[in-house]
Amino acid sequence: MEDVRTRRGVDIASDHHLVVANLKLKLKKNWTTGQTTLQRFNTDFLRDTNKFNEFKMALNSRFQALQDLLKEEEATIEDKWKGIKEALTSTFQEVLGLMKHHHKERISIETLDKIEERKNKKTAINNRSIRVDNNKYVEELATTAEKAAREGNMKQLYDITKKLAGKYSKPERPVKEKEGKSITEI
């Protein structure tokens, strides 16, 4: 609320005074779901004639199926663009696949596999150690809370339960129209 005032002179057929308020509405952030990163496809496969012909055939079949949607007069430009984009990306995904992460040529694939295996084992050991430490910490807090409850120390008991419960906040959701589209501007 930005401003609240009472209007005493207004006749509203009641013994109450009219209250006028200025409200400022803030819309929540529009959280995007799904994949937001740029997809890079492995276009090097198009140099191979077999892959190139396979890609052409798949793309032609997709666009043949898409022709009836493009000919509809009721379809909007956005719907047509979505159809074309979906046909292209799905064909790229199926035939070419995503671009692999480039690494230095002097490092062999076996070495990269060993590095990845070592990294996975290290994170597993770290996660196990963290889990044990976390359980020990919670047990210590629980015994301290029991001791505080026996002694009648309510402040310490309240502080420990607050620490154990953690902070919980409702997830922010954007304001949506009846059709389900999120509102970004007032």
pLDDT tens digit sequence for 37-94: 677 887 777 888 888 888 889 888 888 888 877 777 777 888 888 888 888 888 888 8
The angle subtended at Cα 40 by Cα 36 and Cα 44, nearest 5°, is: 170
- Cβ partners under 8 Å of residue 156, min gap 6: 144, 145, 148
93 or 168, greater pLDDT: 93
119-162 pLDDT per residue, tens = 999 999 999 999 999 999 999 999 999 999 999 999 999 999 99
